[in-house]
Amino acid sequence: MPVSLMNVAEVAGVSIATASRILAGVDYPVTDKTRQMVLKAAKELGYRPNLIARSLRLEQTFTIGIIVENILSPFIPPIIRGIQERLKQNNYFSITLDSNWDPAIETEAIEHLDMRQIDGIIFVESYLRSSEEVSALIDRPHLFVHRLFNSLGDNSIVPDDRYGARIAVKHLLELGHQRIAFINGPENWDAATNRLAGYQEELAAWGIALDPALVKQGDWQVQSGYAATQQLLAVAERPTAVFAANDLMALGVTYATQEAGLKVPEDIAVVGYDDRDFAGFVRPALTTVQMPCEKMGHVAAESLLSLIRGEIKAVEPTLVRGKLVVRQSCGANSGEWKFEAERASLTRRHKQTKPLPG
Amino acid sequence: MPVSLMNVAEVAGVSIATASRILAGVDYPVTDKTRQMVLKAAKELGYRPNLIARSLRLEQTFTIGIIVENILSPFIPPIIRGIQERLKQNNYFSITLDSNWDPAIETEAIEHLDMRQIDGIIFVESYLRSSEEVSALIDRPHLFVHRLFNSLGDNSIVPDDRYGARIAVKHLLELGHQRIAFINGPENWDAATNRLAGYQEELAAWGIALDPALVKQGDWQVQSGYAATQQLLAVAERPTAVFAANDLMALGVTYATQEAGLKVPEDIAVVGYDDRDFAGFVRPALTTVQMPCEKMGHVAAESLLSLIRGEIKAVEPTLVRGKLVVRQSCGANSGEWKFEAERASLTRRHKQTKPLPG
DNA sequence: GTGAAAGCGCTAACAT
DNA sequence: ATGTTAGCGCTTTCAC
């Protein structure tokens, strides 16, 4: 029933070798007449090459594996998309497996991908103990995209959190704020360490002494930003701005501020981190630093392809920067605010209209 | 370099056939001694079967394709996860392609998956014109998960939006509301049609006449819920509750209400639809109807597997129900409110601690 | 109970 | 310029 190369060759009246040479798109001298016949036969028969057979023969699948920490994490889909965009440009494909933050599942995923003969792997946060442990499990090109535990090792792509924190703080300083509080994530996370460093550096660059009373630690969740802010508002000389190490805690800052009868951004300016999807449609809309997910995906895919092609031996540690997205909560925008439309929304695509389903 | 079945057979001192029979897990009479030798050899050599070769031979890949409308759409990852959970239980895997709402890309995706010899396809919203058009492109088992254009055809899994709207309205009625407004999505979307029907049915069931002045149409975005609410607040006998056909518009309802100097839920109760991730951490936290993404994924995967195994000829149209999630905006909960932690957050997994990266 | 060998569909080295 | 054929790694029929 399925059409094979042999069928095409028969119909075209040539050998399967000739048919293959023409249809596989390899540059090989063929008469124009033969080419036409083969192409015609293939088209008529609706020939679709069997990629499984091709892969077995070529010992190359043009497919990479992506192991993600958890597909429900909001950062994962844009990273996947970034990866796939670049893969597509290079006629590569991906198969995504979910480790669910579990090293045992991650190990199984690696083994499965290896059995599938994938050409390489991108880990979007690995929960194995070290890159050596990973190398022991898989003898194919691979690299890491680290968002939270982003110590800058070899073969790793990480966000430039230090830079991100600096531009956030810089923005507040430029708006005239002098007492800028910082609510960080748990200290053993690299992302928290780096964001704190950026905060400190930027203050120092402006000659502003760091007031330890203005630095609090949360757990990345709304509630912790809320609680930290209640403490900050009780500080003798109250901060006029709060930089939260993620958008969730920034929401908490807003709620605590409002509950205290103060206004955001008039009394307290707020800047978050991540640029989560809701940042554009909460009120006040959140000024925040982008987590450059798609960009990291681009870099990861390009680097892995270079690795696969043998153009490079290892990927140099790469820092990827996100921009500051200025909305309402920092006070830089005044006047009426139009809420943003959802990023990935069909209603934004005016070209497309879904016809009646059949 | 890579270990093949031949290597294992050699080391074990048996034929390839015997090694295969033992390692492929087929039930076949073998001496226990031989079995041990083969198993030992495989383990020592670190044998990993080549799934490409196996697939070619078996003409089955134990892999299905998932074509999603857009991986950045917030509903897609949980559907994928639901699908993958069930696949995993059956030793099946998936490869996900993104059509980006484009029928041309979707067609390419189908062709690619066919060439990969996948065993079936799940379409998570198809943008091709009809299921006949899809059938003409692919001769393998397939079915559809429709969220928005969810007319209930054969081989389709859709959310029960009529039911969802009914339980939302019922909840408000039980709280004593009589004038319940409804802000719907654009009328040509099946989801909007069904939610409107549910709204009407539930009101009718309670003997409450439908007041056309209380039914508005938005475009699913925050801004439209905001604008619609401004109109609703100007209605002579103002509604005491608003049911918005999605969470985004429900946010808009809240903003317009607050801007008019009224409070949610005290003056206006609000219920949304979808249970988006932010529903638990906006303030007031949104009472809303779940879009049963994971459940739809489960049903889709199970159904496709039945189709593949030939246990059924076609999937009966299936409606999947979501529950009402009661939070703050409807007024049913009073007192202090703890913000929810993010659903997919590593910080919630206390068992897991990431050791120092290597 | 075990082995030899065919063959899945394809590409490429080697003829011609 | 085209054809013949080996072989990628595996499963399974058929023989013993």
- Rounded to an integer, the average pLDDT of B338-350 is 82
DSSP code per residue over A262-326: --TTTTSEEEEEE--GGGGTSSSPPEEEEP-HHHHHHHHHHHHHHHHTTS-SSPPPEEE---EE-
In this structure, chain A runs to a length of: 358
Distance from CA of A284 to the nearest CA of B (A): 10
Tokens 């499990």 belong to: A137
pLDDT for position A269: 98
Over the Cα atoms of chain B, what is R_g? Answer: 26
pLDDT for position A351: 42
Share of chain A above pLDDT 70, in %: 96
In this structure, chain B runs to a length of: 358
Q: Residue type for B94, please?
A: S
pLDDT for position B147: 77
pLDDT for position B131: 86
User: Are the CB atoms for B316 and B275 separated by under 8 Å?
Assistant: no
The answer to whether residue B357 scores a pLDDT higher than 50 is: no
Structure tokens at A146: 């680290």
**Strand C proximal to A55 Cβ, under 7 A:** no
What letters, b where the CB count within 10 A reaches 16 and e where it falls short, cover B34-43? Answer: bbebbbebbe
Q: Residue type for A221, please?
A: Q
DSSP code per residue over B190-259: HHHHHHHHHHHHHHHHTT----GGGEEE--SSHHHHHHHHHHHHTSSS--SEEEESSHHHHHHHHHHHHH
Q: Residue B223: which of A74, A338, A344 has the nearest Cβ?
A: A338
Distance CA B274, CA B262 (A): 25
Average pLDDT, chain A: 93
User: Are the CB atoms for B214 and B241 separated by under 8 Å?
Assistant: no
User: Residue B57: how many CB atoms within 10 A of its CB?
Assistant: 11
Flag residues 14-73 of B with CB < 7 Å from strand C: 14-18, 28-31, 33-34, 53, 56-57, 59
User: Are the CB atoms for A203 and A210 separated by under 8 Å?
Assistant: yes
**Strand C proximal to A53 Cβ, under 7 A:** yes
What letters, b where the CB count within 10 A reaches 16 and e where it falls short, cover A248-285? Answer: bbbbbbbbbbeeeeeebbebbbbbbbbbbbbbbbbbbb
Q: Which residue of A has its CA nearest to B341?
A: A221
Structure tokens at B47: 């044998």
Share of chain B above pLDDT 90, in %: 87
Q: Which residues contact A27 (CB under 8 A, 6 or more apart)?
A: none
Nearest residue: Cα versus C1' of C9: A53
Per-residue model confidence as pLDDT tens digits over B322-343: 999 999 999 999 878 888 999 9
Per-residue model confidence as pLDDT tens digits over A261-283: 999 999 999 999 999 999 999 99
Collect all residues of chain B within an 8 Å Cβ-Cβ radius of residue A283: 251, 255
Per-residue model confidence as pLDDT tens digits over A155-207: 999 999 999 999 999 999 999 999 999 999 998 899 999 999 999 999 999 99
pLDDT for position B28: 86
Distance CA B126, CA A118 (A): 28
Where does residue B219 fall: left (phi above 0), alpha (psi -120 to 50 degrees), or beta otherwise?
A: alpha
Average pLDDT, chain B: 94
Over the Cα atoms of chain A, what is R_g? Answer: 26
Give the residue ranges of DSSP H helices in B234-353.
247-259, 293-308
Distance CA B87, CA B45 (A): 29
CA distance between the termini of chain A: 27
Beta bridge partners of B121: B65, B142
Distance from CA of B206 to the nearest CA of A (A): 33
Among B45, B342, B349, B356, pick the best mutation site for testing chain A contact (most A Cβ within 10 A).
B342
Per-residue model confidence as pLDDT tens digits over A1-39: 789 999 999 999 999 999 999 998 888 888 999 999 999
Per-residue model confidence as pLDDT tens digits over A90-134: 999 999 999 999 999 999 999 999 999 999 999 999 999 888 899
Structure tokens at A292: 């450059």
Structure tokens at B197: 């029907």
Distance CA B159, CA B145 (A): 9
Per-residue model confidence as pLDDT tens digits over A288-303: 999 999 999 999 999 9
Lookup: nucleotide whose C1' is closest to A18 CA: D2
A71/B77 touch (CB, cutoff 8 Å), yes or no: yes
Distance CA A132, CA A136 (A): 6
Distance CA B186, CA B193 (A): 9
The answer to whether residue A58 scores a pLDDT higher than 50 is: yes
The answer to whether residue B355 scores a pLDDT higher than 50 is: no
Distance from CA of A9 to the nearest CA of B (A): 18
Nearest residue: Cα versus C1' of D7: A57
Distance CA B158, CA A355 (A): 17
pLDDT for position A1: 75
Beta bridge partners of A290: A274
CA distance between the termini of chain B: 27
Distance CA A200, CA A209 (A): 9
